[in-house]
Structure 1
Amino acid sequence: MGYTVAGNELETNDDGFLLEPDFSEEAVSVIAAAEGIELTPRHWDVINYMRDEYRENGHTPNFRNMLKGVNEFWPEADSKALYDLFPMGPAKQAAKVAGLPQPLGKGGY
């Protein structure tokens, strides 16, 4: 598989996750479209959170830690709200759309 972003082919694994992170907005748009996600400002809030976590920790959080972290800037967020944004599983799908490598284990650390 792979995604073409700004004329460059980005390599992915068999599950469609980038092998190397790409922090460009274009990558997010291309991957979101492939996932059937129409991006909203809330998507971008979560994407930026996931990218920050990856930069700071070298990996993305599991779902429980993701929900806890998201609640810091979106207090009314709950499991349903995150699944509404990323229906295939918020921890994994948000990481994929954010242009990050596949999370470890079951959706994070």
Structure 2
Amino acid sequence: MSQAYEYVTIEVTKKKPKKIHWLWRIPAMIYMPLVALFLILTGLIMSLTIIGFFFALPLFTIAIPIAVYPFAPGKFKTYKVTCPNCEKKTIVYQDREDYKCPRCRIPVAIKWQNYK
């Protein structure tokens, strides 16, 4: 037997992006993928030996987030929202459509407003 929930809607205003954010992003789009490529190539060379393979695994796992992070700037912004039912504060990522409150298990829809 499934329960039917009514969505409660809250409005959250997006944060205004900082100008310094764009200043570091342009060089990061160039240098961070180069660092990731260096780590991957170093990991490939190290993985040719059995002992080096164990040291190469962390290089591979670190290289992927380093290469992806500059190209996804808004995906890692977090917002602290309050459940309108039980007043529990929860952290959600930007542009998420809804979340389920961890305390009262009520689904809460989020309506995003652009900054003014």
Q: What is the TM-score when the length of structure 2 is the normalising length?
A: 0.21
Q: Which has the larger radius of gyration?
A: 2
